[in-house]
Amino acid sequence: MQESVSTAGASRRPRISDVRVTPIAFRDPPLLNVVGVHEPWALRSIIEVETEDGRIGLGESYGDLETLANLAAAQTRLVGLDPYDTNGLLSRVYESVTGIEFTGQKFPSAGDKALASAFGAFEVAFLDLQGQIAGLPLYQLLGGAVRERVAYSAYLFYKFGRHKDDPGYPADEWGEALDHPQIVEQTRKMIDAYGFGSIKLKAGVFEPDFEIESLRALRRAFPNHPLRIDPNGGWSVDTTRRLMPQFDGLLEYLEDPVNSLDEMGEVASFSTLPLATNMVTVAFGHIPKTVRLGAVQVILSDHHYWGGLRATQALAHYGRVFDMGISMHSNSHLGISLAAMTHVGMTIPNLAYACDTHYPWQVEEVVVGGRDVFKFEAGSLAPPPGPGLGVRLDRSALAALHRQYLDCGIRKRDDAKEMRKYKPDWSSVRPRF
């Protein structure tokens, strides 16, 4: 791959003049999952790609050191690119992350999640710039809307009432949720506030039979809301086999009961309901084996690690060809990610399920207008108005969140370490059950 391809007809357009990556930390509640509990601060990175004429395209990605190192390795190499040149972006990110020349012949078969994450972080910012230049909302640039709004789901967690160590901010408004009535109360509060029409329970925390009791309590309280459970690979194949009869008629889909693609293939052989994943099929290189095993019926897209918004559309294309439904995964995130998720969700015909979002669990923002930018109605969002992503960076908020990153001391998410503050003998071995 040449560094620069000059061709007839390539008019001189404003090029990228600067790329900034700012790590941030924001408040996060003590949410439980199979590996432990959320620390008091969630890390993200805010990506700014600036053009010679002063436009700024935004992206949001992970904030761990590995991601920051990959973004840092690529960022200076992007100066001089045209914001439309996502192929140039791909080759430069590929070469900076892997250290080998990009030929484009073949995707790395497994190890491309880090690469795709770094590419995707910048690609969203490039597309934001393209939308600004063209005066088009991103969903229009991406092919146009196939729906009026994008539906999200209520993403429930078992949780502690407060963090073990005082993080220097007040406890969250959600309270403790360690039993069925508390989970039902959490759900009611979230649905009252956001109007979500479907429910996902993060699981793998307690004995599966206890968690299924929570599901039954939710079914009684919300008889018309589709339910999902996600043990994050916390169960063995045998446990999943034993539990399977209880899911019939209860679940919309079963997400990541087991922890490997081979095991998902085993579960698929006896499963009576669709299997979803954001853990065992997380890169295009995994699709051939996924298809061969018939292991997955619902792919959870996530532009952060599938490689951006066009890659998310490509993944949906695979879903149509290989008869897999498309839904959307989420980590703790702020509004730049939420805007990007919503724009791409507007354009995917076969987005057949409400998307996951952690957004209700956050209280801080980094975009101008804060959390009021995102007005959920009946659990769904329209993209923020205006060209590109439709969000702008609140620089004082960015500075404050960056200050929190510097001060909090966390540099890599470690839910197991946090859990050992509560349970000193905790280990995040999987399968747990």
Residue 205 tokens read as: 């925390």
Among 5, 110, 399, 406, which residue interacts with its own copies (rule: CB under 8 A)? 5
113: left (phi over 0), alpha (psi -120 to 50) or beta: alpha
Q: Does 241 bind its own copies (CB under 8 A)?
A: no
Other CB atoms within 10 A of residue 429 CB: 10
Q: Which of 163, 202, 304, 358 is catalytic?
A: 202
303 part of the active site: no
Query: Which C-beta is closer to its own copies: that of 126 or that of 222?
Result: 126
Of 306, 369, 372, residue with least CA distance to 340:
306
Looking at 17, 73, 84, 268, which residue binds its own copies (CB under 8 A)? 84
Torsions phi, psi of 86, nearest 5?
Answer: -70, -20
Residue that is written with structure tokens 């702020």 in the block: 334
Closest CB to its own copies among residues 40, 325: 325
- Subset of residues 47 to 66 that bind its own copies, contact rule: CB under 8 A: none
Q: Round to whole Å and give the CA distance between 251 and 422.
A: 32
Sign (positive/negative) of CA torsion 188, 193, 197, 203?
A: negative
Contact 30, 163 (CB under 8 A): yes
Which CB atom, from 318 or from 422, has the smaller least distance to its own copies? 318
If 0-12 CB within 10 Å is exposed, 13-18 middle and 19+ buried, where does residue 185 land?
Answer: middle
Shortest gap between Cβ of 137 and its own copies (angstroms)? Answer: 4
Query: Least distance to its own copies from the beta carbon of 377, Å?
Result: 12
Give the Å distances, CA to CA, from 317 to 150, 178, 299, 350: 18, 40, 11, 9
Among 54, 99, 100, 148, binds its own copies (CB under 8 A): 148
CB of 249 to its own copies, least distance (A): 22
Contact between 110 and its own copies by CB under 8 A: the answer reads no
Give the span between the Cα atoms of 368 and 347, in whole angstroms: 25
Our finding on whether 88 is near its own copies (CB under 8 A) is yes
Site membership for its own copies, residue 265 (CB under 8 A): no
Triad 37, 40, 45: Cα angle to 5°: 105
98 binds its own copies (CB under 8 A): no
Q: Which of residues 279-298 bind its own copies (CB under 8 A)?
A: 284-285, 287-288, 291
Nearer to its own copies, 30 or 137 (CB): 137
Output the smallest distance, CB 258 to its own copies, in A: 24
- Shortest Å distance, C-beta 351 to its own copies: 9
Which position among 34, 383, 418, 431 is part of the footprint of its own copies (CB under 8 A)?
A: 383
| Interface pick for its own copies out of 10, 193, 378, 399 (rule CB under 8 A) | 10
Size of the site for its own copies (CB under 8 A): 64
Q: Which two tokens stand for residue 349?
A: 């015909």
Q: What's the CA gap between 406 and 421, in Å, rounded?
A: 22
Active site residue 329: yes
Residue 80: is it exposed, middle or buried by C-beta count within 10 angstroms (0-12/13-18/19+)? middle
Q: Which of 65, 110, 134, 378 binds its own copies (CB under 8 A)?
A: 134
Q: How far apart (Å, rounded) are the C-alpha atoms in residues 100 and 103?
A: 9
Among 67, 75, 91, 278, binds its own copies (CB under 8 A): 91
CA distances from 313 to 84, 92, 344, 349 (A): 17, 22, 7, 9
| SS3 (DSSP) at 162 | coil
Tell me: does residue 137 bind its own copies (CB under 8 A).
yes
Selected from 352, 399, 406, 429, the binder of its own copies by CB under 8 A is: 352
- Kindly tell me which residue out of 221, 349, 363, 411 binds its own copies, with binding defined by CB under 8 A: 349
Neighbours of 7 (CB within 10 A): 5
In this structure, are strands 275-277 and 227-230 parallel, antiparallel, or unpaired? Answer: unpaired
Whole-Å CA distances, 229 to 9, 33, 156: 53, 12, 9
CB of 317 to its own copies, least distance (A): 5
**Segment lying near its own copies (by CB under 8 A), choices 40-48, 63-71, 138-146, 187-195:** 138-146
Element (H, E) at 4: none
Question: Which range of residues in 56-64, 113-121, 366-374, 385-393 is near its own copies by CB under 8 A?
Answer: 385-393
Catalytic residue numbers read 202, 329
Binding site for its own copies (CB under 8 A): 1-2, 5-11, 13, 82, 84-88, 90-91, 102-107, 133-137, 139-141, 143-149, 284-285, 287-288, 291, 310, 314, 317-318, 320-323, 346-347, 349-350, 352, 382-387, 390
